Structure 1
Amino acid sequence: MSIKEEIQKHRENGNLTLFEPERRSFIVERHVFLGGEARSFVEWDGSIDDSFAAVSARTVAVLERFVNGSYVTIGMDPHDKLSRSQIARVDPTAQGILDFRITDPNPAVRIFGGFAVADLLILLTWAPRKNCNFPSEVARCRGEWDKLFPTHTPVVSEEIEHHVSKHFSIG
């Protein structure tokens, strides 16, 4: 079964939800699927500390811009990236996990996931940026990924085009 077929199966059984912006643009067709605690955070289901409510609302706006094809800056080197990078690969990069960086308002958070294919991002876990143990968060997110997709790894590549096809810059 292809990764796209598995994603559809997980949508049907409620494990993944397609993030749909209020207004769709077709400049670039990107898709974000939310699962697990990342879905709880973005959809704000009441299970998360209220101090993150404003950050959750901001996350929706950031994801809408990404899905609608706005230019995105991606940090390909986990240790040398621009502070304005919206998405960044996280060490160990061989796991294929990256973080979507929500830096404003405080407290900053990171939402972890991976690209199934170019322009198809699956977000599964999140953590506050302050005192974040990135290797542990990568392992935790990859564990969630492997539960959903035991026969498919996230995209692992040094080439940015394997992650996003258009409207990007390397940060």
Structure 2
Amino acid sequence: MSIWKDEVRRLAGTDLIPHTPRPPGLNKRGLLLSKTAHENVHAEEGTLLSMLGRQQIVKAELDRWVEGKLVYDGIGRENGFLIQLDPPPEEIWELRITCPRPQIRLLCRFLTPDLIIGLNFETRDKLGEYGSPEWLAAMNKCEKDWDALFPNVRPFVGKTIHEYVTEKCDDIRLHHERPPKKKKGSPRGKKRR
């Protein structure tokens, strides 16, 4: 049995709610949402995601994580589904929902490998440029919410993305790279007269 599955069972009935895809299947990874994050995904009205009409898109992206589908880490904050943010605070991650706009971010931390604790949703527009005061405030809120749920428990720390995500994780999202541009002129690159 995976460590994360034991943790999900242990935390059942706390202030964390498991995200379960529909139809339920064999979950390959764990995702526990704070009450606020869960309400954002599931409430019919009055939440950030319901006002944006983005709940189904966000559910599909969260399902991708839980079902163990391919996820990718970005290099230089580009093209990643899951990116570790620069400290301080330490060990804050963003799960990125990039299409359509406005982009959505779920700020989270790992409790164990393959188990994310999703703490708060933000829009990319509200956060502004990375490193802005709004980013720092959202990251600090994530840390504060973590500390309230897990007093004296540090998040999981790994050295590479593969220690956090143990299966189906690429370092770079290769399948969306653009093909090289063709040279103008003939197939050999020389102009014919």
Aligned to 2:137: 136
Structure 1: segments with no counterpart, 5+ residues: none
Structure 2: segments with no counterpart, 5+ residues: 128-133, 173-193
Counterpart of 2:41 in 1: which secondary structure?
A: helix
Aligned to 2:108: 113
TM-score, normalization: structure 1? Answer: 0.83
Give the greater-gyration-radius structure (CA).
Answer: 2
Q: Would you say the 8 A contact 1:92–1:135 is kept in 2?
A: no
TM-score, normalization: structure 2? Answer: 0.74
Counterpart of 1:101 in 2: which secondary structure?
A: strand
Going from structure 1 to structure 2, the CA distance change for 1:5 and 1:23 (only over 3 Å counts) comes to closer
1:90 aligns with 2:85: yes
CA–CA separation in structure 2 for the residues paired with 1:152 and 1:4: 18
Amino acid at match of 2:95: F
1:51 aligns with 2:51: yes
Amino acid at match of 1:16: L
1:31 Cα deviation from its structure 2 partner: 0.8
**CA RMSD, aligned part only?**
2.5
CA–CA separation in structure 1 for the residues paired with 2:71 and 2:11: 27
Aligned to 1:66: 65
Going from structure 1 to structure 2, the CA distance change for 1:51 and 1:129 (only over 3 Å counts) comes to same
CA–CA separation in structure 2 for the residues paired with 1:98 and 1:23: 27
Going from structure 1 to structure 2, the CA distance change for 1:69 and 1:4 (only over 3 Å counts) comes to closer
CA–CA separation in structure 1 for the residues paired with 2:156 and 2:90: 9
Paired residue total:
163
Aligned to 2:77: 81
Q: Higher strand proportion, which one?
A: 1
Counterpart of 2:73 in 1: which secondary structure?
A: strand
Higher-RCO chain (CA-CA 8 Å, sequence separation at least 6): 1
CA–CA separation in structure 1 for the residues paired with 2:110 and 2:23: 23
Amino acid at match of 1:145: W
